[in-house]
Amino acid sequence: MGPLAGIKIVELTGIGPGPMCAMLLADLGATVLRIDRPEPSDLGVAKPLRFDLLLRGRRCLALDLKHPDGKALALRLIERADALIEGFRPGVTERLGLGPEDCFARNPRLVYGRVTGWGQEGPLAQAAGHDLNYIALAGALHAFGRRGQAPTPPLNLIGDFGGGALYLAFGIVCGILEARRSGRGQMVDAAMIDGSASLMTAFHGLVAAGVARHERGTNILDTGAHFYEVYECADGRWISVAAIEGKFYAELLRRLDIDPAELRPQMEREDWPEAKARLAVLFKTRTSEEWRALLEGTDACFAPVLTTDEAPDHPHNQARGTYVEIDGIIQPAPAPRFSRSVPDQPIPPQPPSRGEEAEAALAPWLEATDIAALRQSGVLG
């Protein structure tokens, strides 16, 4: 059932971090009901619903929130919810009559989770933006890239999913715990710029201490160091080494048959480019499989660079069950793991339901007589 079994969450359909947050909570056992428009909204790149993996794990109800009957049903569901997730621009749900104060009036214990790029207030609060913009302003984007090259967008992992979805999920769970103690709900303002800045906390300390520089590609973790880098092999495949600690670096050199006396001390930055060039030549002499045979599973801190198609087939991932197959699609399993509260496998993404399907979606939320009345009145389509 998962550690969040018994928790009920209403999700107002959005894109990016909102669905990711809802998926994380549903993966761990929360009952999440996604409310979508009568005509499914455009959630980004067009693709069949079964491939929209962030929508897994919960049912979806087709509801027109601009219609009085639709809004009334949404508020009835919110009355029974522990939390709500919405990712619209500030003020949108207020105009719908579903803002925090509207919902608190119906459910004082509700945790109202909001995720936006810029936050609920500030000069940019109403401006459009995406992950790249948020991590740029948070000082994160500047740090990604090689020396002398432009900043490299790290997919949308930091703003949308790390700084947005994960911080919102954490905030919602914290809010629910606090509400159970105080009996009062509250609004959670999860801004992707705040979350992205928070993820950079350790690097603020490194820069302040003079250990790290703002110049890209000159530091240990940003491809500046030869011992924390990716290298191409003879077969055109790539491998990674991350031997930061002295004992691991010594093990790497030993397995590569390199005499440490031939290199300057590990942390001498000025010599990193020369050492990196030497390793690049060496790693090109064998295939990735040959390097795996020599280095994988050792304290040299090594791993092959795999694609999303290859990762599920790696023996370690298979042994741990890191990936699962749902509706014929291989995808990451729920995380993290729990020793006792093991969640069920998520259901595949569901389309907005009407009629009898809507009744099934509402079954965990309303009494059968209430659902029948809604069906008879036409609210469920």
- Count other C-beta atoms under 10 Å from residue 176's C-beta: 20
Instruction: Fill in the DSSP letter of residue 113.
Output: E
Instruction: Fill in the DSSP letter of residue 37.
Output: -
In terms of Cα–Cα distance, which of 90, 94, 63 is closest to 76? 63
| Peptide bond before residue 346 is cis, with ω within 30 degrees of 0 | no
> Which position has the token pair 């350790």?
202
In terms of Cα–Cα distance, which of 375, 371, 321, 366 is closest to 31? 366
List, in order, residues 6 or more apart from 16 with CB less than 8 Å away.
44, 87, 131, 156, 160, 161, 164, 165
Among 69, 102, 130, 327, the active-site one is 130
Asked if 348 and 56 touch (Cβ cutoff 8 Å), the reply is yes
Q: Is 235 among the residues known to form the active site? A: no
> Which position has the token pair 């304290």?
299
Separation CA 101–CA 83 (nearest Å): 14
Separation CA 292–CA 98 (nearest Å): 55
Among 160, 194, 222, 226, the active-site one is 160
Q: Is 189 among the residues known to form the active site? A: no
In terms of Cα–Cα distance, which of 263, 138, 147 is closest to 213? 147
- Count other C-beta atoms under 10 Å from residue 20's C-beta: 23
Separation CA 189–CA 258 (nearest Å): 52
List, in order, residues 6 or more apart from 236 with CB less than 8 Å away.
none
Separation CA 110–CA 308 (nearest Å): 38
> Active-site positions?
130, 160
